[in-house]
Amino acid sequence: MKLDEHRRVVRGIVDDPTLTYRQRIQSLALAAENLLDPPKVSDDCATALEQRVICDMYEGAAPHRPRYTLPDYERAMRTGSEFLELAPPTSFDDATTFLLALYGNVPSITGYPVWFGDIDRLLEPFAAELDDAELRRRLRRFWTLLDRLFPDAFAHANLGPADGRVMRAALAVHRDAHQIVPNLTLRVDPAVTPDDLLLDAIRTVATVAQPHLVNHPMMVDDLGERYGVVSCYNSLLVGGGAHTLVRLNLHEAARRHRGRSDRFVTDTLARNVELAAELMTSRIEHLVDEARFFDHSWLVREGLLSLDRFTAMFGIVGLAECVEHLLTEDGQPGRYGHDLHADDLAHRIVRETSASVHAIPMPYCEGTGGRALLHSQAGLERDVDLTAGTRVRAGDEPPLYRHITAVAPNHRWFPSGVSDVVRLDPGIAENPQAGVDIAKGAMSLGMRDVTFEVAGGEFVRITGYLARRRDVDRTPDERAATPLAVRHSSTVLAAGSFANAHLDTRSVQRVRCHELDAGSAR
């Protein structure tokens, strides 16, 4: 980009009335970074990047902080922080104040913390001093500050798998607060998580489309006990994180492929994995060797982050369109989620991508054995008619059981995160047990993450994060007529994804039985 074009970009940011002050300075910082030359890659890699077959997720030209960080908050609360001049907390109010101070100093790609930690585990030791009513009141104040201080839907908190007073209070507060932040995940372990806790979680889903439900035993098998779910639904090691996220657009790769689908899987796919891995390597080496983040960060010095707990995320997107394009070229049209031969090809592409990614050594990824982790990437707001990750195309979802059996076989290959959104009808509020049954059944079939949305609800599930319907429903004409800044920086991304990916056409899955409907009619 030439200097005059950079000036136009900066001027556009400065004069944009839809940006808050903080959003403006974050955008200006990225514009300044992009004046620099990006890390060097081969001509083939640069061409694939220009064609958007692979994508650096617009992280910036000079990586200087990891994309995602998951500080060891439990360690910090035991030892205190010399950098922040904080002693270990001794009361509930001390603990929430301590955490808020930590969160405000944690770097990430968004400019906000992407992980608030295991909230119930962090606060449970301090809850004994409070009765249930007072616990909720103080937790509600904490919840309010999380949303107001870190207004970004990629800021994520975890609960479970065990029950507890803070757990129950958090779900109740979440139902009452009607907030976007924190994005919430409940770990589910059939041996530990009681059914009535799942029922409480589904009641919360019926109100605010949260929490995600994650298959805890499956996650432990892949990452061990000390993992966190961050941002959309991305799972990484506590005390570490992800240097970068690079993605491969399977549809763009398929459109440039010549020949049958078999050759795509054996040749074209493997070559594009290599190019994405090259881009990833160049960015990691710049972060660690040139920007030297791990040599200078106070989080590393105090033992809250460690380089040997880091990895990188290899994302794929557009599986549905890739499969349909390849089958059409083969002369055997089919739709992923509807036709078995399409499902089989989708599963093979994912399986072979996983094998190719795992075969490539990745620098400074000791946390995961020197290899990147495969990730079902949730898309970008500028993607047009491109389905997130490995999902069935929005609006083309088959009936519920068929949907789950089509996508579940993919989940085993994505230790750093995969999500398929199931849109439930509003009857879930009257029949939350149906949500419990769906979640438990889906996990028994191999789903790693179960994410629900409620048709017509106040919140819409964009990719893995939430936005308020009233914010994304504003038309371009309305936005032009009354340009207003939105407090949650993620809302702008949500509006683009909502329109370009046709997310409001998701099929609605019924949860009321016919007998109930007939009884109501009488």
Mean pLDDT value of segment 432-457 = 96
What's the token pair of residue 436?
């419990």
Predicted local confidence at residue 58, as pLDDT? 94
In the predicted structure, residue 186 carries a pLDDT above the cut 70: yes
User: How would you classify the pairing of strands 54-55 and 241-249?
Assistant: antiparallel
Predicted local confidence at residue 482, as pLDDT? 67
What's the token pair of residue 477?
């004409």
pLDDT in tens, 76-126: 999 999 999 999 999 999 999 999 999 999 999 999 999 999 999 999 999
**Residue 295 burial by CB count (10 A; 0-12/13-18/19+): exposed, middle or buried?**
exposed
Amino acid at the residue 45? C
In the predicted structure, residue 480 carries a pLDDT above the cut 70: no
- Per the prediction, the chain carries an average pLDDT of 94
Instruction: Write the DSSP string, 104-138.
Output: TT---TTSS-SEEEEHHHHHHHHHTTS-HHHHHHH
Mean pLDDT value of segment 427-436 = 96
Predicted local confidence at residue 470, as pLDDT? 84
Q: What percent of the chain has pLDDT over 70?
A: 96
pLDDT in tens, 313-338: 999 999 999 999 999 999 999 999 99
218: three-class secondary structure by DSSP: helix
In the predicted structure, residue 481 carries a pLDDT above the cut 70: no
What's the token pair of residue 216?
């805890």
Neighbours of 16 (CB within 10 A): 13
In the predicted structure, residue 48 carries a pLDDT above the cut 60: yes
**Residue 140 burial by CB count (10 A; 0-12/13-18/19+): exposed, middle or buried?**
middle
Predicted local confidence at residue 476, as pLDDT? 60
351-360, 389-398, 436-445, 500-509: segment of lowest average pLDDT:
500-509
Q: Residue 40 to residues 32, 150, 234, 314, 436: CA-CA distances in angstroms?
A: 19, 34, 28, 19, 49
Mean pLDDT value of segment 41-46 = 98
**Residue 474 burial by CB count (10 A; 0-12/13-18/19+): exposed, middle or buried?**
middle
pTM score of the predicted model: 0.94
What is the C-alpha to C-alpha distance for residues 176 and 446, in angstroms, rounded to an integer?
A: 32
Q: Which of 73, 165, 149, 87 is nearest to 112 (CA)?
A: 149
Mean pLDDT value of segment 7-31 = 93
Give Rg (Cα) of the chain.
Answer: 23
In the predicted structure, residue 516 carries a pLDDT above the cut 50: no
pLDDT in tens, 393-426: 999 999 999 999 999 999 999 999 999 999 999 9
What is the C-alpha to C-alpha distance for residues 439 and 452, in angstroms, rounded to an integer?
A: 9
Question: To 10 degrees, what angle do helices 119-127 and 165-177 make?
Answer: 120
150-159, 227-236, 438-447, 467-476: segment of lowest average pLDDT:
467-476
Neighbours of 260 (CB within 10 A): 12
Amino acid at the residue 181? V
Mean pLDDT value of segment 276-304 = 98
Mean pLDDT value of segment 368-377 = 98
